[in-house]
Amino acid sequence: MYSRGTIYCQYNYYLVKYYALFFITLILVKLYNFTPLCSLCNSTKAFTQDGDTMRNDRIKVMLTTEGTYPFHQGGVSTWCNFLVEKLTEVDFTIYSIIMNPFVTQKFILPSNAGMIKVPLWGTEEPSEHLTTPFSKVYTAKRYTDKKIVESHFIPLFQNLIEEIINFKKNPLKLGGVLSEMYKYFQEYDYKNSFKSEAAWEVFKGIILNYTNDGRNKLAQPSVFDLIQSLGWIYRFLIILNTPLPRVDVTHSAAAAFCGIPSVLAKLENRTPFLLTEHGVYLREQYLSLSRRGYSSYLNTFLIRMIHSVSSLNYALADQVSPVCVYNTRWEKMFGVHPGKIDVIFNGVDQELFSMRQNIQKNPHPTVVAVARIDPVKDLITLIRAAVIVKDRIPDVRFIVYGSVSVPEYYEECLALRKELALEETFIFAGHTDDAPAAYRTGDVVALSSITEAFPYSVIEAMMTEKPVVATDVGGVKEAVGGCGIIVRPRSPEQFAQALITLLEDPEMREALGKEARERALNYFTIERALELYLNSYQKLAFGVAEPKVIPLNLKRQKLLSEKGYALAEIGHWREAISQFRLAIDAAVDSTAVPVLLTEIARAYNNLGNFDMAFNELEKVEAMVEYLENNRIA
């Protein structure tokens, strides 16, 4: 007979060995591209009969956006529209986070795309945007009483607030809290929970205790500050009150709040998560702080909340694909493993942006900028450069095509234009639906931004065979290469001199324009970008860069193992063992067999049958060795 201590030690030995072998199996799956059965068991893909195989016809992707597609114009929206319109073999669900429900939709979705709209403001009830039956909403409100809030919601809420305000971030902890909150709001009411007296008292207590310690570097808040910061949490996390669709891959357009649905899908459904970064979201928020006029407390609170969300995206994304190499330095700084980073440059339509020979010559030397009227585009510098260029080339014209994003900034630009007597020289032409024609009206294309990622305006100009003068920000230098002139940001004198050089030398303009188009054709076509994104979807969804064909014996193995997992989940260990053994027999050479054997060992451990657990672990070792040898052979 074994003593209790002997049994306990033996149990721990088997348990440690079980997990060690389990992780060895997962490593082999990763290194040798084995197809783990768990990826099949949790798949929601539709299969159709194809001879002796079952084949997936279409990939389902949830594309998440924030303040962009399909409700606003801009580079990110252009990128989204390319993906959705051109990848016709993919079924998209657009999960669009918008400021309010009254925003006008700017893009018409194609037939392969549906949409979930999530307005953060402009609604009285957080469930107004949902199709949830009134009876369910009413029931949730009815059952969300003080006792439920204090016992179920408040512990999660407390962890959430502590994670947001802490300078050191724990993204896995935050992900777990958000996942549990998402489950909570499937049953209980969002508004009654967040706006409860208990939530206010806990929030106030945590913040005041934290700010009393000077080492935490968070200023003392006013009552208004407390209300405002809690209001931000309430509004931004309405995402947690929105049910998720079942898809094969999620794709977030930023490491921002729009990445939270992707995080939830990964934690809830094990859905692979692709993150694209156009700009660096956290950096952009830092740059915009000075314009907001918030108190010190609100500035710090907001940045720490955004830092938490960005870190969460980076930690849980399976693939991080910035649109330029420049962004990778930020991602690595925030802990993204280099192996997860795969740069995919933006691309443009080479036919749409071709240089047509029948364009009439400009009556005046002309500089064109395609940019929205926004402080980050730094049109003030371009206006100041224009007055310098005009002194040298009196008949020069500057034309800016773009909508007004920040009215106050537009007024500032108009005032400076008037002060410098440039009303006839510097023209705001408004938004254009024909960007190629806009570029063709210029001799030189200018970009004066103080921050960018990989701007479409640069590669579109290059594809139109136009030389570019641009500021050295983001991935601009990567795009331009040696086919234009790069200048310092916020330097009107240097910008003006570069423009004068090109405007006075038509041969240089022509040579740089031809080189620019050649470079764009080699690196920045929409076809190249679409191919890389489709390959990424296929790789994440199936483990290979082409649609996965699953033999019928693996299909049977999948079904049997699903039964085993379901039985194990409710504690029916012996029945689970039986189903796992049938699953192994269905495809004995499958790379999923080691995983199934470890599940059988786990079941025996739970039954207290340690000898049988040990036998199964021995089989795992042998099977792993067999699979590895076959791979090498």
Q: Per-block average pLDDT, block size 10, for the chain (633 residues)?
A: 44 49 49 41 35 56 97 91 96 97 95 97 91 90 96 98 96 97 97 97 98 96 98 97 97 97 97 93 78 90 96 96 92 91 93 69 92 94 98 98 94 98 97 93 96 91 96 94 96 98 97 95 93 95 62 76 87 90 83 85 84 80 67 44
Q: Which CATH number fits domain 366-524: 3.40.50.1220, 3.90.870.10, 3.40.50.2000, 3.40.120.10?
A: 3.40.50.2000
What is the pLDDT, as a whole number, of residue 9? 47
In the sheet with 468-471, reading across from the earlier edge strand, the strands are 426-430, 397-401, 366-370, 444-447, 468-471, 484-487
Q: What are phi and psi of 444, to 5 degrees?
A: -135, 145
Residues of the chain with CATH 3.40.50.2000: 366-524
CA angle 264, 267, 272 (to 5 degrees): 90
pLDDT of residue 25: 52
What are 255's two structure tokens?
């490491």
CB-CB contact of 375 with 287 (8 Å):
no
pLDDT value for 359 = 61
Residues of the chain with CATH 1.25.40: 4-35+551-632
CA distance 296 to 278: 28
What pLDDT score does 517 carry? Answer: 95
> Which pLDDT does position 33 carry in this prediction?
42
> What tokens does 569 get?
């989940």
Angle formed by the axes of helices 379-392 and 492-503, nearest 10°: 50
pLDDT score at 630: 58
pLDDT of residue 625: 67
* Yes or no: domain 4-35+551-632 corresponds to CATH 1.25.40: yes
DSSP-based helix, strand, coil % in the chain, nearest 5 = 55, 15, 30
Residue listed under structure tokens 């240097």 = 494
Contacts of 590 (CB under 8 A, 6+ apart): 35, 37, 553, 554, 557, 584
Q: Which CATH number fits domain 59-340: 3.40.50, 1.10.600, 1.10.8, 3.30.70?
A: 3.40.50
